[in-house]
Chains A and B, each alone.
Chain A
Amino acid sequence: MSITTERSQISLLRRDRKLRPDWLLLIAYTALSALGLLMIYTASAPRLEAIGVSPTRELEQQAAFVLIGFMAFGVVSLIKVVTIRPWVSAIYLGSIVTLVLVLSPLGSSVKGAQRWMQLGPIRFQPSEIAKLAVILALAALLSAAARPMRWDRVARAVVLVAVPSVLIFRQPDLGTMLTFGFIAGVMIFVAGATWRQMAALIVAGLVGTVALFQVGAIQEYQITRLTAFLDPVTDVLGAQYNQFQSQVAIGTGGLFGKGLFNGTQTNLRFVPEQSSDFIFTAVGEQLGFAGSFIVLVLFGIIIWRVLVSAANASGRFGQLISTGVAALLAFHVFVNVGMTVRLMPVTGLPLPFMSSGGTVFVMMSIALGLAHSTWMRRPTLPMERSAAS
């Protein structure tokens, strides 16, 4: 190591100022977004045409969101994560307020669930924003944790997650609630919780879930949806109709798929919500295992790069944010794709970067931007880096 030579010094200074983007991450992110647009078009065009409106209508809408998301990603990448830190409590509280408001008459309901907020011309889902807020809040709280972590901090982290969870549960949005649990578990673990603390958290989570069932706080339709996927095919018109049709559609895709617009199942409206929650079905049926596998690999690359940014982070705050983002993305992918292949119950979690929907795309882009920002500012001195890279 020759940091004393003039050459190294100059290069050190220069490189310190220079932001180095993660090209691999950028490529995967762009590729998934583009593929998402294509899939949304193939899934929505025949349906839109059939009802007599422009077949590109949904595509155009989503393309606008993608552009906004790209811009958000770019802007957030340029912001140093620690500069956000003083704002974290405000973001967290603001997010709680919107979650409360969405339950009030201000929120609007779609398919029986109150998930939308209208703010002037903008309509968004507060629960999506809450995911980001929870990651930031947990990162702020846990980055100050002692090692090994003390029990009171674990408890505070649980409370931090429990408040929005309860509010989201009232909407009701079971998927988002489970996401919180998973993110919190991963972040608390990376922040330095002991094995005993982790075990206690898992037990508490299980007990809590059972208690909710017992009290009857979970609606019947949610139970049906949760358990239906375990049953063999009995009633194709029942609760698991969507899922069953989705699984069949993906199964018929074979190795290389039926080709774009040739997916009889997706294109002919057998699978509902194709462009939002069941967008992966369109991939599976039209592009086959090859396409599905590429999508999984692209997600793998993103999650891997985000975890690498966590490992190389210069501070614990940034490291925990990246960890949370990786957990968020992985959980969404696992639950969503798992749902389309009947590995997981139907919970309504969208597939990041691919499902149609504005709030989700922009929020996921911001999350990814945070991790990317951490990567671009990673310390360049080998001695400052952590060993895992």
Chain B
Amino acid sequence: MTGTWRIAVVGVVLAVMLGALGLRLWTIQVTETDEYTAEAERNLIRVVPTPAPRGDILDRNGELLAGTKASLAAVVDMALVDDDFQEGLAQRLSAFLNQPASEILERFENANSGAQIILAEDLTERQALIIFEHREDFPGVAVIPQPIRDYPGGDLAAQVLGYIGKPSEADLERPGVKGTDVVGKAGIERFYDDRLRGVEGVIKYQVDAGRSVLQRLGEQESAPGDNLVLTIDSGIQAQLQDSLEAGLGLARELEMAERREALEEENGDIRSRLFLAREAAQLEATRAALEAEAAAENSAEEGIAADEDSVAVDTAVEIDEGKVLGSLYPGLPIDGEGVCVPVQRVEVGVASRTLLSGIKERTMRLEAVVQDRSRRIAVVDIDGERFEVEEGDSFATTLRVIAVTDDDIVVSHTDKWCPVRAVGVVEDPNDGSIIAMASYPSFEPAAFVSGLTQTEWESLGTINAFTNFAVQGQYAPASTFKTVSYVLAMEEGVYPLDRPVGDRILGDEHTEAAPPGEEGGAEEEGGAEEGGGAEEEGGAEEEPVQPIPSDSELKPLTSDTDLYNCTGSLRFQFNDGSSQVYRDWKRNGHGPLDLHGALQASCDLYFWEISLRIWNERSDETGINNEDLWQEWARSFGFGTESGIDLPFEKPGLIPDRQWFRDEQRKDTGRVRSTGPWVGGDLMNAIVGQGAVLVTPLQLANGFSAMLNGGTLWTPRVVSEMVDQGGNVVDENPKSVIQTIDMDPATVRTLRRDMQQVVNGPIGTSRAAFIGFGPNVSTVGGKTGTAEIIKATEDVQEVDTAWFVGVAPVLSPDYVVTVVVERGGSGGRVAAPVARQVLQYILNGERAVTSLEAGADTD
């Protein structure tokens, strides 16, 4: 081939290029290397990052919820400290930082040569000045401004704000995040971390061969993060938190009263009398002990710290010697005061006893600790039953061993029936703004800044204090969900059959309409949730006296004002002769009611009948498929999907349907019964907010907002806008509509009126809770709910989730208040009074809030 000479020319050119590089390298690295070495010594430049202050978080009125405190930190740059100089420096620093020199030296030695060690976080002005003025004595030590996160409100809106901490591996993947940074781990701190964090700055220092700072070469200032303005109102938030705390206390007192009653009923039972006597004595003793303690140390610490103090129960009392390691529930009475405790950490010495909270209290005694090779086995006696356990074991259903030492045992104990948590949300139905949101027990975000101790972390973690249950908690909504069916009935014209008595015969075509016997026991997560009172009765059930008309002989009601006879029970008779009875929460029924009365009195039967009509007419000859009619209505109000609120970890809730049911069976999750298809009974359960239906408190507030504002489903939000340091709005989180539901204005009007009647009317389920509300009670509406959760143990049959959704002013709603008390009992009795306090605060001011008292035991 010709032209190879051209390649040779190219080769020469490329060789010259490489040669030039070689020559240049020779010059720099060999000929002039001394000059460069000197240059390097002269021009050692240290780049010290300066953290950007995190943006503030303000409530809707500009009140500071999370801010940044300026502090000065002493940072040692190990690259600038000669090995043989470390000891001297440690000595000098120790003198004025008040830290032992040996400790400082140890940190020096453990650090790698490039590390920058923060020796002191909160220097005084004077200390900082000394370092500045005597730089030659402190080579490598720099004073840099260090912003510290500050939460002036204590636990105010703690779960909404979240907390900050060291970045996880996943956090480090994000741009601009270093292992030494702090990032938001939960709540707004997490969701808006990128906005809050700002951009780190740097200071460049020139240091000489002697490694002391010659001069500050320049500084690139850090850019602080944006400030966030929330939709939260601090006042209402504080009231909500107070009321939730009080509400949980109330629920626990009521629970204890019930337990006492149950014990007293056991006539002749020695244990009950013993228990009562014991408890009285103990109450006395504890009070005395606490008083003595209070007198001894006047300075009561606040918050977590105080609650972590071990509370020793006076040894004079019969049941006593165990040490309760903190109540875990800040602010609530501790164990031994006659109030149940959902989670206990108990430490018991050998031959000592302690009391375990429970439906029937038990005593636990540590008999002995046996050393078996490397294992320590504790011999524990619980009311006469012996257990041999070691660390990590779970035993006696409710106990778990945390640690076993030579002479004591630490156990964690759960009382599954004790009210555990109260959650509340206040939303503005006009734009989806969250005005208040809290769950109790709570925590103080500031605790994370200085670092939680292991015990603090474990204690608060055990009770999920860090979790925002308003968006992460999923509960059966119970009767509050009847409003969805109410809207459905009004909009679709689906009303019950006009039935003289509650019994119905199930012919062949209806067999699948009622649940098979095992329905009542369908397992749900955390226990079984059951239909509003389904009871199975065997074939022994006596035959109905009257002939029962079949469904086809009955005419449906045609309007919302037609009366339905709510007899208190619905009996299904199967072909095999067995029958099953669905009972209303009110055993004797409510009498004749129309749709409005059914909602006000929360009549289960009326809504079951609606579900039976949907079920029976789910497909007709015209080809209409109404299989999912109820599900579609429920989903249109945002149930079953994440609302899209600007908070992390939101849960979707669940609206069950045939497909879901089938999938669960196939996946064998144990959440649904294993045999048989989705049947009418499942829909009956769902329509009254039981069975598999799950909602978050936020979803319920948001769904009610949509129903009450005429059909606009908003995306709920907690942040409204982002503001820069100068106060200028740099960005917004504008209100946004998820969807608009076409609702007849008449439906909205009557729903508001009926909710007003729930609070004010003669048959209203929350009437009792609102007695003594003060002015403006007529502008308040609401709906109660009581979800029955079956705990499968021998001791107890059920625990209830108490719900209340309140609204005010009811004719043009500005506030929707949702309250749920987990294992709280009746909605009307426990949840409604909590919401009542919040509404009193909103409508009549802080002074109008009256003390918390139990309402009536209603559905």
Q: Is A74 an interface residue (CB 8 A)?
A: no
Of the listed residues A186, A251, A300, A310, the one surrounded by the most CB atoms of chain B closer than 10 A to its CB is A251
Query: Could you say which residues of chain A place their CB within 8 Å of the CB of B13?
Result: 186
Q: Please give the residue numbers on chain A whose beta carbons come within 8 Å of chain B beta carbons, in ascending order.
A: 46-47, 49-53, 147, 186, 189-190, 192, 236-237, 245, 247-255, 264-265, 267-270, 284, 288-289, 292-293, 296, 299-300, 303-304, 307, 310-311, 313, 316, 319, 323, 326-327, 330, 333-334, 337-338, 341, 343, 386-389
Complex Cα gap A51–B20 (Å): 39
Q: Is B79 an interface residue (CB 8 A)?
A: yes
Instruction: Give the shortest distance, in Å, between A308 (CB) and chain B (any CB).
Output: 9
Q: How many residues of B contact A (CB 8 A)?
A: 49
Closest residue of chain B to A330 (Cβ to Cβ) is: B14
Q: Which of B172-188 contact A (CB under 8 A)?
A: 172, 178-180
Q: Is B772 an interface residue (CB 8 A)?
A: no
Name B15's contact: one of A46, A270, A300 (CB within 8 Å).
A300
Complex Cα gap A270–B21 (Å): 23
Complex Cα gap A47–B3 (Å): 51
Name A251's contact: one of B39, B114, B180 (CB within 8 Å).
B39
Count of chain A to chain B residue pairs whose CB atoms are closer than 8 Å in the complex: 156
Query: Could you say which residues of chain B place their CB within 8 Å of the CB of A253?
Result: 29, 33
Known contacts being A307-B7, A326-B14, A388-B8, is A292 close to B30, with CB within 8 Å? no
Instruction: Please tell me if the beta carbons of B33 and A252 are within 8 angstroms of each other in the complex.
Output: yes
Instruction: Give the shortest distance, in Å, between B213 (CB) and chain A (any CB).
Output: 15
Instruction: Give the shortest distance, in Å, between A356 (CB) and chain B (any CB).
Output: 17
Instruction: Please tell me if the beta carbons of A296 and B10 are within 8 angstroms of each other in the complex.
Output: no
Closest residue of chain A to B173 (Cβ to Cβ) is: A53
Q: Is B61 an interface residue (CB 8 A)?
A: no
Query: Could you say which residues of chain A place their CB within 8 Å of the CB of B558?
Result: none
Query: Could you say which residues of chain A place their CB within 8 Å of the CB of B33?
Result: 251-255
Closest residue of chain A to B41 (Cβ to Cβ) is: A252
Instruction: Please tell me if the beta carbons of B28 and A303 are within 8 angstroms of each other in the complex.
Output: no
Name B22's contact: one of A49, A296, A311 (CB within 8 Å).
A296
Interface string of B5-35 (1 = CB under 8 A from A): 1111111011101101110111011101101
Complex Cα gap A189–B5 (Å): 11
Instruction: Please tell me if the beta carbons of B29 and A323 are within 8 angstroms of each other in the complex.
Output: no
Instruction: Please tell me if the beta carbons of A334 and B40 are within 8 angstroms of each other in the complex.
Output: no
Complex Cα gap A296–B19 (Å): 9
Instruction: Please tell me if the beta carbons of B47 and A269 are within 8 angstroms of each other in the complex.
Output: yes
Instruction: Please tell me if the beta carbons of B10 and A250 are within 8 angstroms of each other in the complex.
Output: no
- What are some 16 contacts across the A-B interface (CB < 8 A)? A190-B3, A237-B204, A237-B217, A251-B39, A254-B30, A268-B114, A300-B18, A303-B18, A304-B11, A310-B7, A313-B1, A333-B18, A337-B21, A338-B20, A341-B24, A343-B20
Name B18's contact: one of A186, A268, A299, A319 (CB within 8 Å).
A299
Instruction: Please tell me if the beta carbons of A307 and B1 are within 8 angstroms of each other in the complex.
Output: no
Instruction: Please tell me if the beta carbons of A50 and B114 are within 8 angstroms of each other in the complex.
Output: yes
Interface string of B203-226 (1 = CB under 8 A from A): 010000000000001100000000
Instruction: Please tell me if the beta carbons of A252 and B37 are within 8 angstroms of each other in the complex.
Output: yes
Which applies to chain A's interface (DSSP): helix, strand, loop or mixed? helix
Complex Cα gap A327–B11 (Å): 9
Query: Could you say which residues of chain B place their CB within 8 Å of the CB of A46?
Result: 112, 114
Query: Could you say which residues of chain A place their CB within 8 Å of the CB of B8?
Result: 311, 388
Known contacts being A248-B36, A250-B28, A254-B29, is A296 close to B7, with CB within 8 Å? no
Instruction: Give the shortest distance, in Å, between B788 (CB) and chain A (any CB).
Output: 48
Instruction: Please tell me if the beta carbons of A296 and B5 are within 8 angstroms of each other in the complex.
Output: no
Of the listed residues B4, B5, B43, the one surrounded by the most CB atoms of chain A closer than 10 A to its CB is B4
Q: Is B2 an interface residue (CB 8 A)?
A: yes
Instruction: Please tell me if the beta carbons of A252 and B36 are within 8 angstroms of each other in the complex.
Output: yes
Instruction: Give the shortest distance, in Å, between A79 (CB) and chain B (any CB).
Output: 22
Q: Is B97 an interface residue (CB 8 A)?
A: no
Complex Cα gap A288–B4 (Å): 37
Interface string of B114-152 (1 = CB under 8 A from A): 111000000000000000000000000000000000000
Closest residue of chain B to A254 (Cβ to Cβ) is: B33
Known contacts being A270-B45, A341-B24, A386-B1, is A327 close to B40, with CB within 8 Å? no
Instruction: Give the shortest distance, in Å, between A10 (CB) and chain B (any CB).
Output: 27
Query: Could you say which residues of chain A place their CB within 8 Å of the CB of B169?
Result: 53
Known contacts being A251-B28, A303-B18, A330-B14, is A387 close to B179, with CB within 8 Å? no
Instruction: Please tell me if the beta carbons of B6 and A190 are within 8 angstroms of each other in the complex.
Output: yes
Of the listed residues A52, A293, A300, A316, the one surrounded by the most CB atoms of chain B closer than 10 A to its CB is A52
Name B25's contact: one of A252, A296, A327 (CB within 8 Å).
A296
Name A386's contact: one of B4, B11, B14, B180 (CB within 8 Å).
B4
Query: Could you say which residues of chain B place their CB within 8 Å of the CB of A296?
Result: 18, 21-22, 25
